[in-house]
Amino acid sequence: MTGQAQLLPGTLDLLILEAVDPLPVYGLVRRIGQISCRALLIEEDPLFPALFRLARQELLTASGGKSDNNRRRGFYELTSGGRSRLRQEASDSDRPVAAMTLVPGTQPEEI
């Protein structure tokens, strides 16, 4: 996985909530790659348990439909609870991200 970051525990749910458009799973994989500027490339297999968990928590709804190439696909969409959770998670995640961006450039005498 050269040049790509490892996914931190707990961030997959936030990525899914951010990427759901509604999209089928393969679309979510591509969208997560786009939002992260290709720094995170997720395979479909780990997404399914996360999608089911988010649907059980009523943060996503699942529906059947057809893709652009007329194949049967499951589509996922944010619920109002999912939008609220996304806003909360995004604001909570700002603090550690901001702290981590400061660490590499900090000199010992600045601490």
DSSP code per residue over 33-72: HHHTTTS----HHHHHHHHHHHHHTTSEEEEEEE-TTS-E
Q: Indicate yes or no: pTM above 0.95.
A: no
Contact 82, 54 (CB under 8 A): yes
Read off the pLDDT of residues 21-78 as tens digits, 9 standing for 90 and up.
788 888 888 888 888 888 777 877 878 888 999 999 999 998 887 767 777 778 889 9
Domains in the chain (CATH in brackets) are 11-101 (1.10.10.10)
